[in-house]
Amino acid sequence: MLAIKFDMFKLLAVILYIGIVQSCFCQQELRNYKELAIKVLSKHFDKDVLNNVKCTKFIAKGDEEGDGADGHYETNQTILIDTTWDIGLFFEVHNNELDYDVPFSLTIAKDGNFFGETKVIEQVPSCVRRNQHCGFINQRTAISIAKRNSIQYPDNLNAQLVKPKKSEEYFWIVIGQDKNAYNYNDKDNELKWTVLVRRQTNTRVIKAKTGELIYWVKRC
């Protein structure tokens, strides 16, 4: 009887061990995914630039409704993410010449493949990635140009550097918003997925190389 109890104890111990091991393999800490992404980015970024790349946010999504998580990276580095979830990692790298935090993102699919690598190359100018001189007007200058040209909501502006799909040029898109609807200075808005209204009155498009103003484009 004692031998049977001992065997049962060993069996339960083995089952518990297997469960723990499987749990470890089925989940990984968020920071492990970030390190994988950094290895991919190392192919496209100068080493000194890569050292200044910051992961800001993440979003993880499973197949089942309600499966997932999102939030700021810094406060969630050690949370466990299910390996069957798709994970989007959002990054930024500061460029002194542009006086701007250049944003970009990468997605790690549940099969381990990376998506968005080509988009990173388009989103982040090669001069930024390679730590070279860009010759672009900076963010503050773009905002000043927009203000001089009567943009709506001049006290609540945001400027983003973009490269349209069918263009080799980069542009600053400056957008103003009603503070009551969306305040750019409110950090709580960073995690909100908000569709910002773009109209001719509250949008200015400016060539990054020359500072030339294009009053309105429907798509950029």
Per-residue pLDDT tens digits for 1-12: 444 444 544 444
User: Are 125 and 164 in a shared domain?
Assistant: no
In a domain, 176, yes or no: yes
Residue 180 confidence class, pLDDT cut points 50, 70, 90: confident
Q: What percent of the chain has pLDDT over 90?
A: 60
Q: Could you tell me if 146 and 105 lie in one domain?
A: no
Same structural domain, 88 and 159: no
CB atoms under 10 Å from CB of 71, counted, come to 14
Contact 148, 174 (CB under 8 A): no
pLDDT confidence tier of residue 47, bands split at 50, 70 and 90 = very high
SS3 191: helix
* Predicted pLDDT at 19: 42
- Decide if 85 is inside a domain: yes
Single residue among 78, 108, 129 that ends a domain in this structure: 129
149-170: per-residue pLDDT in tens?
999 999 999 999 999 888 889 9
- Looking at the structure, do residues 143 and 76 belong to the same domain, yes or no? no
Looking at residue 39, its amino acid is K
Identify the band that residue 122 occupies on the pLDDT scale cut at 50, 70 and 90: confident
Question: Can you tell me the distance from the alpha carbon of 172 to that of 175, in angstroms, rounded to the nearest whole number?
Answer: 10
Answer yes or no: is 8 within a domain: no
Provide the CA 21 distance to its chain's centre, in angstroms.
32
- Of 129, 153, 180, the residue that ends a domain is 129
Q: How many domains does the chain have?
A: 2
Do residues 146 and 175 share a domain? yes
Q: Does residue 19 belong to any structural domain of this protein?
A: no
User: Are 81 and 169 part of one and the same domain?
Assistant: no
125/151 same-domain check: no
Domain stop point among 79, 98, 129? 129
Domain of residue 119, residue span: 28-129
Lay out the sheet containing 213-214: strands in order across. 157-162, 171-176, 203-207, 213-214
- Which of 207, 216, 66 has its CA nearest to residue 151? 216
Q: Is residue 2 part of a domain?
A: no
Looking at the predicted structure, is the pLDDT value of residue 23 above 50?
no
Task: Establish if 20 belongs to a structural domain.
Answer: no
Tell me the pLDDT tens digit for each residue of 57-101: 999 998 877 788 999 999 999 999 988 899 999 999 999 999 999
Cβ neighbours of residue 37 under 8 Å, at least 6 residues apart?
55, 89, 91, 106, 108, 114
Same-domain status, 208 and 115: no
Non-local (6+) Cβ contacts of 201 within 8 A are 151, 152
pTM score, two decimals?
A: 0.80
